[in-house]
Structure 1
Amino acid sequence: MNTPAQLLDVPSREELLAQLAASRQDVESLRSELDETNRGVLALYAELDAQADELRQATELKSRFLAYMSHEFRTPIGSVLSIARLLLDRVDGPLTDEQERQVKFIQETSVEFSDMVNDLLDLAKVEAGRIDISPDWFEMVDLFSTLRGMFKPVLTNPDLLLVFEEPHDVPKLFSDDRKLAQILRNFISNALKFTAKGEVRVSARRGEDGMVVFSVADTGIGIASEFHHAMFKDFNQIDSPIQKRLRGTGLGLSLSKKLAELLGGTVGLTSEPGVGSTFFVAIPAGAPEAAHG
């Protein structure tokens, strides 16, 4: 005759002890796996911290190297420009037409080299966090007038016009006008360099969310869509016959992007090969809080 425990199929004491022992083994196994996982996570964090330190050191060394080399290049560049200016002023006597052409080539090349050095130095300062933002109120008309005067001496192509649209319904800006002018100078210089004929048009308009958008539109060679994503990266250049013929470091647009971010803004472009390009920078009408620090 079956007992009540057998009828209810209740585990015996030995079976319960065996199940408890098995459960304890499972818990210990899980605890061991969890400890191993924690050790792996801690090791991964330690490795990431070490890599982050190495990256910071590498970035600092690069910035220091760029700053040092930029300063070292300034003296010989200045000397070459001074000598070229003296020769073109005929201080030491007249020049033949061929000599004048060669000296002008030296002068133009030295100016380009100087611009590259300045971009390198500014980029090093930005990456090292040593660029000061000095916001103040200014008018668009004054900014455009300064840029117009700056580019007037280099507009030697009769088939190319540089047009500054009169700003309409654009408020006064509270920002760093020198940094903004540097961004627009880079945009305008590139537009003039890659536009053989037509026009380069500079404009400003109200954007959304209190932003003001500055655009530099050209009728130049244009840029294929597959290159758009990389245009604002360091040392980026387009693989084209004109790009190969014209010198540059590919730093101007990267620097412009970083300066725009310091002003609390963004940069971008629209472009189509054979039609032209429009580069723009959007910055807030009022300076961001970071600009005061």
Structure 2
Amino acid sequence: MSDTTDQTPTPVQDTEDGQGALARALAEAAELRAELEETNRGVVALYAELDAQAEQLRRATELKSRFLAYMSHEFRTPINSIRSISRLLAEHTDGTLTPEQARQVGFIQSSSAEFADMVDDLLDLAKVEAGRVEISPAWFELVDLFQALRGMFKPVLDNPEVILVFEEPEGLPRLYTDDHKLSQILRNFISNALKFTARGEVRVSVRREGDEAVVFSVADTGIGIAPEFHSAVFDDYSQVNSPVQKRLRGTGLGLSLSKHLAILLGGSVSLQSALGEGSVFSVRLPLRTDSPEA
């Protein structure tokens, strides 16, 4: 008769096994706790670094805005002097000019006017980035806005091969928004369209979109913009890389400023264009701004 060994765990063995498992669990917990604390320290350090970078970015943006505002103001005095002197020369205040002299004075006038527009765009962009642009909404008729724009551009239409058309805004309600900011957006769109349209027309129109918004569009028959440039056309200092763009001066601020102003008015800007087929720049705005005075 063979002997058999009883392999049933004794109470002492159960206690030892339990203590070993508990010790392993405690060791794993301690290791996990150490890893978690290390991770937390890393997260805290990362947040501190991000806060420092955000503060540096804020200060850099503030300094840039101050610089742009200061330089814009400083540029105004010499620009106004140049424009005043060239106007006196063009009016023959100090004597008659020869045809060549008159042509050169005209060039000075157009260049100084363009320079003044650039300075205005720089100053406005600096104000927008600094959050110092105030919106003053009021009720107004669209027909009055179009009449004002028509009168504003009539003196500068010097290309007989391009016509500027304003479609009558019939059947549209009054708007409650900042008409000066809206006019500035449309002026930038129209000026840009006239600059890049050698022949044909620039057409300004407005339509209602649903019950809450209107869309203003400026369509031209100009050189158009290739699709790869559409996403960047409203960025600061962005210019389309084309022979015509290189020949014509500009800061690339007008469209960027228009985008910022549209956002301040609760709207958005968009572009439809194809190279060689013209462009349509649009701004969509609510019929009424989100204002307690509306």
1:208 Cα deviation (Å)? 3.2
1:218 Cα deviation (Å)? 0.4
Find the aligned partners of 1:264 and 1:54 in 2 and give their Cα distance: 29
Task: Name structure 1 gaps, 5 residues minimum.
Answer: none
Find the aligned partners of 2:94 and 2:170 in 1 and give their Cα distance: 51
Find the aligned partners of 1:123 and 1:17 in 2 and give their Cα distance: 71
In the alignment, residue 253 of structure 1 is paired with which amino acid?
L
In the alignment, residue 39 of structure 1 is paired with which amino acid?
R
Structure 1 runs of 4+ off > 4 angstroms? 1-4, 8-11
RMSD across aligned positions (CA): 1.6
1:13 Cα deviation (Å)? 2.1
1:159 Cα deviation (Å)? 1.0
Find the aligned partners of 1:3 and 1:209 in 2 and give their Cα distance: 89
The number of residue pairs the alignment matches comes to: 290
Equivalent residue for 1:5, pick from 1, 8, 15 = 8
Find the aligned partners of 2:220 and 2:290 in 1 and give their Cα distance: 30
Counterparts of 1:249-288 in structure 2 under 5 Å?
249-288=251-290
2:33 matched to which residue of 1?
31
Find the aligned partners of 1:276 and 1:69 in 2 and give their Cα distance: 35
Find the aligned partners of 2:76 and 2:244 in 1 and give their Cα distance: 28
- When normalised by structure 1's length, the TM-score is 0.96
Task: Give the conservation status (yes or no) of the 8 Å contact 1:168–1:205.
Answer: no
Q: Secondary structure at the match of 2:207?
A: strand
Q: Deviations over 1:112-143 (max 9, x none)?
A: 00000000000000000111100000011000
1:204 Cα deviation (Å)? 0.5
Find the aligned partners of 2:77 and 2:125 in 1 and give their Cα distance: 19
Find the aligned partners of 1:109 and 1:203 in 2 and give their Cα distance: 29
1:113 matched to which residue of 2?
115
Find the aligned partners of 1:41 and 1:49 in 2 and give their Cα distance: 12
Task: Give the conservation status (yes or no) of the 8 Å contact 1:206–1:213.
Answer: yes
In the alignment, residue 145 of structure 2 is paired with which amino acid?
L
Q: State the percentage of identical aligned residues.
A: 66
Find the aligned partners of 2:13 and 2:212 in 1 and give their Cα distance: 75
- When normalised by structure 2's length, the TM-score is 0.95
Find the aligned partners of 2:61 and 2:242 in 1 and give their Cα distance: 31
Find the aligned partners of 2:83 and 2:11 in 1 and give their Cα distance: 103
Task: Give the conservation status (yes or no) of the 8 Å contact 1:134–1:176.
Answer: yes
Equivalent residue for 2:240, pick from 215, 221, 238 = 238
Q: Secondary structure at the match of 2:163?
A: strand
1:56 matched to which residue of 2?
58
Q: Deviations over 1:147-195 (max 9, x none)?
A: 0000001111111110000112311000000000000000000000000
Find the aligned partners of 1:42 and 1:157 in 2 and give their Cα distance: 63
